[in-house]
Structure 1
């Protein structure tokens, strides 16, 4: 809740390959609202693909663009389901924005499931090199980065519809608790 009002958006956080984009689209359909992928918003705003931003400007510039895009998206008046990039939680400013404007849901998955899900995706600049080694290292580095979420769901053994339903119910409970 912010300023006495229920949280307006649902913000999906989690490591890459946990299902944020897929769950986000289906959750938005379920709730009859719009979905927004922050990575897609960055590409639109910057006019450059994410791997190109990393290559040409570096991770620091990418993270600044990410914060700007996240702030713009979360400033929307209409309810959105917002899928963030896996590293969006690294910035304290981003975490504060998410908590101020949204019901934050962390999606997790077993490391081997993450590897299987991202192994064919060449648009992941942080996974260049030994994929298995990079995934395990990043997961270790970020093991507590998602702890601030209102709700956490392990997607390893759940179907997308099950994940969507759990989030929808959690969001609805959150709204009803604040409207009493």
Structure 2
């Protein structure tokens, strides 16, 4: 889910493990030369989700040691979930609505929050309640520092 710390924690993990962090949303933007809001506006969410799938497949097929921070909606496609599971350890970062709202409120680069951000976050949490269950492990980032989240993930990774 957005606002759970994927990019921040991903940076820390990449440095700790000597891997490269790939932010999937940023990779899509670079690939098509449009911002995510522009993609949504011009082509719609289904087109964005197709680009997201293509980019995820390319990143995971590269064979490099990478940390991939996916957008929160990448799990809406079962084939993305399968790709992630085949690619390595899948970690779902979660947070309660209040923490997510505080982290994302005012971010204009999130087209799914158009309108009342608080209402939209709560609705997305409800719709996606079970979407992250496929992950190997889940870490609730509510009230945790990024370093604490990283240590929790490393405990699963190094098992």
Query: Same fold by TM-score, threshold 0.5 exceeded?
Result: yes
Alignment of 1:67-78 (within 5 A): 67-78=53-64
Structure holding more helix per residue: 2
Q: What residue is the counterpart of 1:93 in the other structure?
A: 79
Q: Distance in 2 between matches of 1:168 and 1:46?
A: 33
Matched, 1:139 2:125: yes
Please tell me whether the aligned partners of residues 31 and 168 of structure 1 are also in contact (alpha carbons under 8 angstroms): no
Deviations 1:127-173 (A, max 9, x none): 00111111111110000000000000000021100111111221111
Q: Unaligned regions of 5+ residues in structure 2, if any?
A: none
Q: Distance in 2 between matches of 1:26 and 1:120?
A: 25
Q: What residue is the counterpart of 2:114 in the other structure?
A: 128
Q: Distance in 2 between matches of 1:132 and 1:161?
A: 27
Q: Distance in 2 between matches of 1:118 and 1:157?
A: 15
Q: What residue is the counterpart of 1:62 in the other structure?
A: 48
Matched residues, number: 159
Q: What residue is the counterpart of 1:6 in the other structure?
A: none
Alignment of 1:1-180 (within 5 A): 15-173=1-159
Q: Distance in 2 between matches of 1:62 and 1:120?
A: 22
Question: Deviation at 1:33?
Answer: 1.1
Aligned-residue Cα RMSD (Å) equals: 0.7
How high is the TM-score relative to the length of structure 1? 0.87
Q: Indicate the structure (1 or 2) with the bigger Cα radius of gyration.
A: 1
Q: What residue is the counterpart of 1:3 in the other structure?
A: none
